[in-house]
Amino acid sequence: MDDQLPVTVGVEEEFVLVDPASGEVALEGPRVLGLLADEPAVMPEFLRFQIETATGVCRTLSEVRTDLIRLRRRLADAAGRVGCLLVASGVAPFGVTPGICGVTPDPRYRVLAERFPSLVADAGTCACHVHVAIPAPELGVRVLAGLRPWLGTLLALTANSPFHHGVDSGWDSVRYPLWSRWPTARPPGAWSGLAEYEASVSDAIRSGAALDARSVYYYARLSPRHPTVEVRIADVCLDVEDTVLLAGLVRALVVTGLREAGSGARPRLVADSLVEASFTAAARTGTAGPGIDLSSGSETSQESLVEALLDRARPVLREYGDLDEVERRLKAVGVRGNGAARQRALRAASPSPANFVGRLAEMTLGE
């Protein structure tokens, strides 16, 4: 890897389209895409009330922010032109999802829906995926093993889906238990090397648990389309600044892992059961509740886990000039809460579903 320049990073965000009067999902993805035919960074998603964006390949967090703002504004403008709102929420807050009739008319999506019909109704969840460049897949597999202890903390920071079918789900990220129903939605393994990783992917496809490599939904994986590690644990963030924070932390963790792998250091082994328990704790209560100390298996505060994550990422953050910004954003999350906390406060202050989703749409644009 090139230690002279920052390792590149890119971000994919998934959004919900909602009706401004009822707050329920709006199946307008194809029409929105039709208005953005000149924008290759905007793509369809599994269900027609979802839409996805992808930033360019970025070297600085400033570049990430600029692209995220541009794409959110373009999408929101196009959504408004077809009579709906763009909302950044891990799950649509209101309404019953439409099932098979809501699947985007794409052959691959149709096959997925036919293979996993029981999962379609709750498939319209929205995530944020962060890609970080790696010099070789073998090193990437080592990085994935090293990421296992930190993914739960990233989920706690970004949890942004408390409401489902119009009621409080009791989770900060109800997206997590919904998405985890997919057969391959699980933590990355502590694979011994690239051959073992590729065998795991091949086994998932051969067994029918996945349609193809793209539908092997490990919460961190080697991207099947780009030379990157792709971290997929986070809900889509309510505002751009939380997304930038996530991108900065993920890049620093990946670069730290790359350097350790290059030096021959072995990642700390953590049992799958503990990793999964850390995900569940993070999804349930976010940054406000308890987490799991993966060194001991005991309960601890999410605040202490955030501090430990920052300690690990700090050298790379400082080297890349991102430390002050990341520390500032972490303090902001500590004061105002994650996206779920802000959604709950906003819902409590909103006299109607229409007012609530309107305010969510404004926050999606940072207004």
The residues pairing with 294 across neighbouring beta strands, listed in sequence order, are: none
The mean of the pLDDT values for the chain is 95
Q: Give the residue numbers spanning the domain of 44.
A: 9-339+352-364
Reading the block at residue 285, the tokens are: 């209560």
- Domain annotation covers residue 101: yes
* Residues ≥6 apart with Cβ < 8 Å to 212: 108, 205, 224
Which single residue is written with the structure tokens 């406060």?
A: 345
Run of H or E residues at 18: strand 9-18
**Cβ(40)–Cβ(215) under 8 Å?**
no
Query: For position 296, what pLDDT does the model report?
Result: 87
**Amino acid at residue number 1:** M
- Domain annotation covers residue 104: yes
Written as one string, the DSSP assignment of 272-288 is: HHHHHHHHHHHHHHGGG
* Residues ≥6 apart with Cβ < 8 Å to 308: 153
Over range 312-336, report the average pLDDT.
97
pLDDT in tens, 164-200: 999 999 999 999 999 999 999 999 999 989 999 999 9
Over range 284-313, report the average pLDDT.
95
Which single residue is written with the structure tokens 């779920």?
A: 340
Indicate the pairing of strand 127-133 with strand 299-301: unpaired
The CATH number assigned to the domain holding 312 equals 3.30.590.20
- Domain annotation covers residue 3: no
- Domain annotation covers residue 2: no
Indicate the pLDDT class of residue 227, thresholds 50, 70 and 90. very high
Reading the block at residue 219, the tokens are: 């919460």
The total of other beta-carbon atoms located within 10 Å of residue 177's CB is 16
Indicate the pLDDT class of residue 1, thresholds 50, 70 and 90. very low
Return d(Cα 327, Cα 173) in angstroms, integer: 23
pLDDT in tens, 256-268: 999 999 888 787 7
Indicate the pLDDT class of residue 101, thresholds 50, 70 and 90. confident
Indicate the pLDDT class of residue 88, thresholds 50, 70 and 90. very high
Reading the block at residue 44, the tokens are: 């369809």
- State if pTM tops 0.95: yes
- Tell me the three-class secondary structure of 212-261, residue by residue: CHHHCCCCEEECCCCCEEEEEEEECCCCHHHHHHHHHHHHHHHHHHHHHH
* Residues ≥6 apart with Cβ < 8 Å to 70: none
Structural domain total, the chain: 1
- Domain annotation covers residue 283: yes
> Distances from the Cα of 122 to the Cαs of 12, 267, 302, 358, in angstroms?
20, 35, 28, 23
Total length of the chain: 367
Over range 219-223, report the average pLDDT.
98
Which value, to the nearest 10 degrees, does the dihedral of the CA atoms of residues 48, 49, 55, 61 take?
A: -160
Tell which residue, 298, 344, 327, 274, has the closest CA to residue 89.
344
**Amino acid at residue number 51:** I
User: Is pLDDT of 3 > 80?
Assistant: no
